[in-house]
Amino acid sequence: MRSERTQVGIVGAGPAGLLLSHLLALAGIESIIVEARSRLHLEERIRAGVLEQETVDVLRETGVGARMDREGLVHHGIALKFGGKGHRIDLTELTGKGVMVYGQHEVVKDLIAARLEDGDTIRFEVEDTSVHDIASEQPSIRYAKDGLDHEIRCDFIAGCDGFHGICRPALPDDVLRVYERVYPFAWLGILAKAPPASHELIYANHDNGFALLSMRSPEISRLYLQCAPDEDIANWPDERIWEELHARLAGDGFVLDEGPIIQKSVTAMRSFVAEPMRHGRLLLAGDSAHIVPPTGAKGMNLAVGDVRVMARALEAHYAGRGSEKLDAYSQTCLRRIWKVQRFSWWMTQMLHRFDDDTPFDRRRQLAELDYVTSSRAAAQSLAENYVGLPMDWG
């Protein structure tokens, strides 16, 4: 078995693992990332792309925001559409902040490039990854690559390997607590070669279900439709998708531009939190610890918050300033995570149709949308959450 040594071993080269490694390097802390997939797969995997103000600030301040600033789209508001009418929420006027539309895979490209500039810090396409001795002072990561077994001995392990990863299940059953809600619908998402029909996102509540107009660039639209959780995408030819999008986004003279659909996918919807986010020398971050429904655009932003808290805690530890921040890591992150879970659930229940909705539920939902778009206090609460709560409550 080939063995090597580092200070922090990181499982997963998504945004959480890559940014953590980058932040640690800036603090003079060594790390190695192991990743099951190829670099090409990671850089082409399409995910959400709405960055909170603090996420934007972190990328800029740490030297990986130049391409984002050139190619990203700054948004100062969003629209809520119901009853065929759009209502703009002015994020900047209400909070002094905005958001940036910049695809997650683009963030991943920027971070991979930055990490590889620092040397051999990422092991792509590894197999049979496992973590060992997490309750000891000498945990390790083992994996196989090119027919050889490898071991990384480290001080800490960061589990940034997503919902289906191997790190969260490594926590003992009598330690791990899971909170989960699975929603009775999914999102059918498309990428289309068509200029976005709006310069800001539109969240639509319609009798047929939810729809969202988003974008990836001035030439590429990203659009979503509420559908059944077990939807067969083969039942959605392009014509049916465009017909339903036109219906759900209609009103106020709005015209949706069509174009060739270059990608289709169905995304399940769930709320999920695992507690605690630290056991021994294993710390969880990002989707390995929590999942939010995409309605509030919070998934990657939560991951950024986690690793910023983790990096600061590890920096304090290695600088000899004690273990208080490490000991408080889980509590610090979870305080923000549960607030974001609340907001994501609230946006989801306000905008989607549920199968068991009664006529009373429907009227209440429309009244809630009317209140949010007519009350400054309610709109400001939405805006404050949408642009992002503080990442470090500690």
For position 125, what pLDDT does the model report? 97
SS3 114: helix
pLDDT at residue 60 greater than cutoff 90: yes
d(CA 105, CA 334): 26
CATH of the domain at 55: 3.50.50.60
Are the C-beta atoms of residues 59 and 111 closer than 8 Å to each other?
no
Strands 2-5 and 148-153, by their bridges, are: parallel
Which H or E run contains 31?
Answer: strand 31-34
pLDDT at residue 114 greater than cutoff 90: yes
pLDDT at residue 360 greater than cutoff 80: yes
Side by side, the strands of the sheet bearing 140-145 are 2-5, 148-153, 140-145, 127-132
Let me know if residue 308 belongs to a domain: yes
Residues paired with 278 in a beta bridge: 283
Let me know if residue 189 belongs to a domain: no
What does each C-alpha distance from 333 to 39, 76, 147, 306, 330 come to in angstroms? 29, 27, 38, 6, 5
**DSSP code per residue over 239-272:** HHHHHHHHHHH--TT--PPP--EEEEEEEEEEEE
Indicate which residues carry an active-site annotation.
75, 203, 294, 298, 386
Let me know if residue 121 belongs to a domain: yes
What does each C-alpha distance from 45 to 69, 104, 293 come to in angstroms? 21, 8, 18
Domains in the chain, number: 1
For position 392, what pLDDT does the model report? 67
Burial group, residue 350, by CB count within 10 angstroms (0-12, 13-18, 19+):
buried
Are the C-beta atoms of residues 107 and 91 closer than 8 Å to each other?
no
Per-residue pLDDT reduced to its tens digit, 278-312: 999 999 999 999 999 999 999 999 999 999 999 99
145 confidence band (pLDDT: 50, 70, 90):
very high
SS3 236: coil
pLDDT at residue 74 greater than cutoff 90: yes
**DSSP code per residue over 366-392:** HHHHHHHHH-HHHHHHHHHHHH---S-
Least confident of 37-46, 165-174, 242-251: 37-46
Helices 15-26 + 104-117 axis angle, to 10: 40
For position 329, what pLDDT does the model report? 97
Q: Which domain covers residue 277, as residue numbers?
A: 2-75+97-179+270-354
Let me know if residue 150 belongs to a domain: yes
Which H or E run contains 148?
Answer: strand 148-153
Per-position b or e across 107-122, b if 16+ CB within 10 A of its CB: bbbbbbebbeeeeebb
Let me know if residue 11 belongs to a domain: yes
Alpha helices by DSSP H, 62-164: 66-71, 91-95, 104-117
Residues in Cβ contact with 192 at an 8 Å cutoff, skipping those fewer than 6 apart? 220, 221, 222, 223, 258, 259, 260, 261, 262
Alpha helices by DSSP H, 89-131: 91-95, 104-117
Residues in Cβ contact with 33 at an 8 Å cutoff, skipping those fewer than 6 apart? 10, 11, 12, 13, 17, 18, 21, 115, 121, 122, 123
Please compute the mean of the pLDDT values over residues 353-370 and round it to a whole number. Answer: 96
393 confidence band (pLDDT: 50, 70, 90):
very low
For position 359, what pLDDT does the model report? 95
Let me know if residue 394 belongs to a domain: no
Residues in Cβ contact with 199 at an 8 Å cutoff, skipping those fewer than 6 apart? 75
Q: Which two tokens stand for residue 44?
A: 């082409």
For position 394, what pLDDT does the model report? 42
13 confidence band (pLDDT: 50, 70, 90):
very high
Please compute the mean of the pLDDT values over residues 241-258 and round it to a whole number. Answer: 94
Let me know if residue 234 belongs to a domain: no
Residues in the chain: 394
Please compute the mean of the pLDDT values over residues 65-84 and round it to a whole number. Answer: 96
d(CA 292, CA 287): 9
Please compute the mean of the pLDDT values over residues 127-148 and round it to a whole number. Answer: 97
For position 46, what pLDDT does the model report? 74
Let me know if residue 390 belongs to a domain: no
Please compute the mean of the pLDDT values over residues 327-344 and round it to a whole number. Answer: 97
Strands 290-291 and 261-275, by their bridges, are: antiparallel
pLDDT at residue 254 greater than cutoff 60: yes
